[in-house]
Amino acid sequence: MNKKLFGQAIGKVVAGIVLVGLLLFVPAGSFAYWQGWLLMGILFIPMLIAGFVMMAKSPELLKKRLNAKEEQSEQKQVVLFSGIMFLAAFIVAGLNFRFGWIVLPNWVVFAGAVIFLLGYGLYAEVLKENEYLSRTIEIQENQKVVDTGLYGIVRHPMYMCTLLMFLAMPVVLGSVISLLIMLLYIPIIAKRIGNEEKVLEEGLEGYRDYKKRIKYRVIPFIW
């Protein structure tokens, strides 16, 4: 086992737990915000499991996923806007619990949790199908076009999964206002995809033909 990689992965998870906890429970003014605990459970427990699996079976993929440093200025803006969106959505969700602005029914919260876990499952399948998957936009050595599985349905199944998960998060947190904030992810991800496809067309052999064959980017028959 690569102890350095393992330590880096655990450190990221712990930092994430602390950050999300602060963003949710400080604005909520209470640890009784059970929707916040629910989100943290369905977010970080599968993340830990996936991390251990990648550590054992594909440490190189885990290393790529931990590399979140974008080199392109346009993508740095996307990361910045995404971070601001998450900060606002989580803080507002905590305030929504504290002041009881618009609180979603429990059954809707649990339905959101199911949708979130479905997105997680699809995300795991994407990681399995594409060994070149990275958190940054780049062309890797010996990279080939992946056109099977979910990649045979949409060109960017990873973004399909994250869209599903990100829009489910505020539902799990019980906040309609946070859901409206998270809708900003759609134009943010559209900007990222546009830049990513430009890079892939220029640097990845066969991508132009793949783009012609697979018409939809994120959502079958819609987008």
pLDDT digits 0-9 by tens, 172-212:
999 999 999 999 999 999 988 988 898 888 888 888 999 99
CA distance 188 to 192: 7
Task: Return the residue matching tokens 């892939």.
Answer: 200
Q: How far is CA 48 from CA 44, 52, 64, 77, 157, in A?
A: 6, 6, 16, 28, 22
Domain CATH number, residue 65: 1.20.120.1630
Asked whether residue 190 is assigned to any structural domain, the reply reads: yes
pLDDT digits 0-9 by tens, 114-157:
999 999 999 888 888 877 666 555 666 667 888 888 999 999 99
133-136-139 Cα angle (round to 5) = 65
CA distance 50 to 56: 10
Cβ distance 93 to 101 under 8 Å? no
Q: Could you tell me which of 153, 87, 150 has the C-alpha nearest to residue 124?
A: 150
Q: Which amino acid is at 161?
A: C
Asked whether residue 218 is assigned to any structural domain, the reply reads: no
Asked whether residue 222 is assigned to any structural domain, the reply reads: no
pLDDT digits 0-9 by tens, 47-75:
888 777 777 776 666 666 666 555 556 66
How many structural domains comprise the chain?
A: 1
CA distance 91 to 195: 30
Task: Return the residue matching tokens 């780049």.
Answer: 138
Task: Return the residue matching tokens 């905590």.
Answer: 94
What pLDDT does 140 receive? Answer: 64
Query: Model's pTM, two decimal places?
Result: 0.88
Phi, psi of 103 (to 5 degrees): -105, 125
Asked whether residue 134 is assigned to any structural domain, the reply reads: yes
Asked whether residue 220 is assigned to any structural domain, the reply reads: no
Listing DSSP states for 149-217 in one string gives GGGGT-S-HHHHHHHHHHHHHHHHTTBHHHHHHHTTHHHHHHHHHHHHHHHHHHHSTTHHHHHHH---S
When pLDDT is cut at 50, 70 and 90, the band that residue 4 belongs to is confident
45: domain range?
3-213
